[in-house]
Every structure is written in structure tokens, then in C-alpha cells.
Amino acid sequence: MEHTNHRLTLDDAVQVWLHSWNGEYQHEIAFRFGVNQGRVNEVLKGKRHPGSEQIAREKRDLH
């Protein structure tokens, strides 16, 4: 998959958290979404979509 300038949406960011908590590495998550690993890291550091972690926690707790 070629990495282009795809942007992660809030929904994508929520999924990034869920995949990370399930043990996926950042580079694997990045490949899944077609983005640079740095974009995934920005989500996990709270620099992009800062509310996504809380939404992911709520979603995880519902299941």
C-alpha cells in the first residue's frame, strides 16, 4: 500500500487506540490506515484528536 496524504478522522483515531490496546504496533496500525507512523504516534500522544482516547475507552467498556 502506498502511503499518501490520508488524514485520520476522529473515528479512525478511536480505532487507532483500540488497535494499540490490542497489542498492534504503531507501524502496523499506520499501514492499516494508509498513513505515516508519525500520524498514529500523534494520536497516541494526544496531539491529534485529543478526545479520541476517552471515546475509545467508552467504546471498549461497552463491549
Q: How many helices (H) and strands (E) does the chain have?
A: 4, 0
Q: 23 versus 63: which is more confidently predicted?
A: 23
pTM here is 0.88
Name 13's Cβ contacts closer than 8 Å, sequence gap at least 6. 43, 48, 49, 52
C-alpha pair distances (Å), 20 with each of 26, 32, 50? 7, 12, 15
**Domain spans, the chain:** 10-62
Q: pLDDT tens across 9-57, in order?
A: 999 999 999 999 999 999 999 999 999 999 999 999 999 999 999 999 9
